[in-house]
Amino acid sequence: MTRYHQLAEEMSGRIRAGILRPGERLPSVRSVCRSHRVSPATVTQAYKLLEDRGEIHARSRSGHYVSAHLGGRPLQQCSVSRHSGASAAVAVRDLAFELIDTAGRRDFVPLGSAFPAPDLFPLRKLARALYSAASRLDPQSIYEQLVPGNADLRRMIARRYLETGCNVPVEEIVITTGALEGLNLCLQAVTRPGDAVAIQSPTFYVVLEAMERLGLKAVEVPTHPRDGISASTLAAALDRHPIKAVWLMTNFENPLGCLMPDNEKREVVKLLAERDIPLIEDDVYGELYFGADRPRPAKAFDRSGRVLHCSSFSKILAPGYRVGWAAPGRYARLVERAKAMTTIATSVPAQAAIVEFLKHGGFNYHLRRLRKAFESQQSPMLQAIARYFPAETRVTRPEGGYFLWLEMPERVNALEVHRLAARQKITVAPGPIFSPQRKFQNCLRLNYGLPWSQKVESAVATVGGIVGSLA
Ligand SMILES: Cc1ncc(COP(=O)(O)O)c(C=O)c1O
């Protein structure tokens, strides 16, 4: 047995003995080097082996952690995306609407919702900011900054970009009605009906809707559940299809929760610049990281203005206020014009309220609490899945955001799970709604953005029971 196998077995033994418990951090590579007199490569190989076996998982810049267990058996991690790219006319139907519809119903447990629990947000403080800002609003100013939006807000956003390694001039930023409007406008700015657009697979159903409206074709690119799209996989898709634009969620994708490593982001940006293809970057979850630092957007590597970066306050501060923005690089003026010609402006008082909160509300403090809440809600959800779902179930373990992606046993039909769960007033998001070709038949997206409670645990147990009965 090699030294790294021995080390892996030793750590595995500690986990089995309960010395290292689910959620706990393993000793750092450096400290194991010292205590065992081995090289960093040996420790890294040992940890990699345990990661591949699903016993531990890494969090960027934070270390290695013990994974959730089912009895003595580690919960398996989703490791591969088996689905290959193909061009297809987009057709997305009623199910996605049903999920949005039930998200707000108090009699449902919304495990399938795309929204986190509203009580995680400082809604009272925001209401005070709204009142204060709106009552001080100079009447003339209402018309002064309709497009591209509130000047103070754009300045503050530009300042935050600097912290993520992006140098975005204030003039590039267009305030939009949520990220979704920005994304739609960006997509419209860089495509014509009939164009092919590369998307992650699986992807958020709203992306598919947006493409359908514009008469675009989706090229689904296989996406790794942990690392997202790689530059080489994307290059292969670009070689096969006449792709005119790429739409990626680089940080904590919806639904996989995957995070593209920096070097892949850099390579993708370089590849697309070489081929003169714009990248629409949907980064609404980038601030919801569990590691030490915010992951960088692909925009940070853009030197040619081809990255159209979109985000919003919807998931991080002010759900329902519908304030987002786009930083569309060389396409900024096109997007600004399109914004003016569609909705003219984003609500002026809502923008003023966000400015007021960013100035005086303790935004960074709120963000730290929100990240902690999501991170702490992930573990019990994983443990409940390990306890209540069939043994072959595989699950992702994202380093941010609030979505888990599950691969159930092959024969389980996610649409059937959805139907049976809905009868018990529980929603789940079935895999096929995340693919224009209705792939991911045996997959589910679950939301852990809900404070953990007996009710949520019973709902997970019920869904696990349903899955077990179909397996
Ligand atoms: C990946 C992704 N992009 C965009 C949006 C929409 O963001 P907004 O509410 O700011 O329009 C969502 C909302 O669920 C999302 O999950």
Q: How far is the CA of 351 from the centre of ligand 1 (A)?
A: 18
Domain with CATH 3.90.1150.10 in the chain: 89-119+365-470
Residue located nearest, by CA, to atom 5 of ligand 1: 180
The hierarchical CATH code for the domain 3-67 is 1.10.10.10
Out of 100, 180, 321, give the residue to mutate to test ligand 1, the one with the largest number of ligand atoms within 8 Å of its CB. 180
Q: How far is the CA of 392 from the centre of ligand 1 (A)?
A: 31
- Please, what CATH class does the domain formed by 121-363 belong to? alpha beta
Walking along the chain (471 residues) 10 residues at a time, the average pLDDT comes out as 89 81 86 89 91 81 77 50 46 67 83 94 97 94 90 96 94 98 98 97 92 94 95 96 98 97 98 98 98 96 98 98 98 97 95 97 96 96 96 96 97 94 95 90 96 97 98 93
Q: How far is the CA of 467 from the centre of ligand 1 (A)?
A: 28
Domain with CATH 1.10.10.10 in the chain: 3-67
Q: Which atom of ligand 1 is nearest to the CA of 114?
A: 14
Cis peptide before 295 (omega within 30 of 0): no
Residue located nearest, by CA, to atom 1 of ligand 1: 254
Whether 204 lines ligand 1, by a CB cut-off of 6 Å, is yes
Whether 282 lines ligand 1, by a CB cut-off of 6 Å, is yes
Q: How far is the CA of 337 from the centre of ligand 1 (A)?
A: 22
Whether 96 lines ligand 1, by a CB cut-off of 6 Å, is no
Q: Which atom of ligand 1 is nearest to the CA of 254?
A: 1
Note the pLDDT of residue 66: 86
Out of 284, 323, 405, give the residue to mutate to test ligand 1, the one with the largest number of ligand atoms within 8 Å of its CB. 284
Note the pLDDT of residue 15: 83
Residue located nearest, by CA, to atom 14 of ligand 1: 114
Whether 324 lines ligand 1, by a CB cut-off of 6 Å, is yes
Q: How far is the CA of 243 from the centre of ligand 1 (A)?
A: 24
How many Å apart are CA 405 and CA 146, to the nearest integer? 40
Whether 179 lines ligand 1, by a CB cut-off of 6 Å, is yes
Note the pLDDT of residue 83: 44
Find out if CATH 3.30.420.40 is the number for domain 89-119+365-470. no
Domain with CATH 3.40.640.10 in the chain: 121-363
Whether 178 lines ligand 1, by a CB cut-off of 6 Å, is yes
Q: How far is the CA of 325 from the centre of ligand 1 (A)?
A: 12
Q: Which atom of ligand 1 is nearest to the CA of 204?
A: 1
Whether 254 lines ligand 1, by a CB cut-off of 6 Å, is yes
Spatial contact of 336 and 189, defined as CB atoms under 8 Å apart: no
Q: How far is the CA of 286 from the centre of ligand 1 (A)?
A: 12
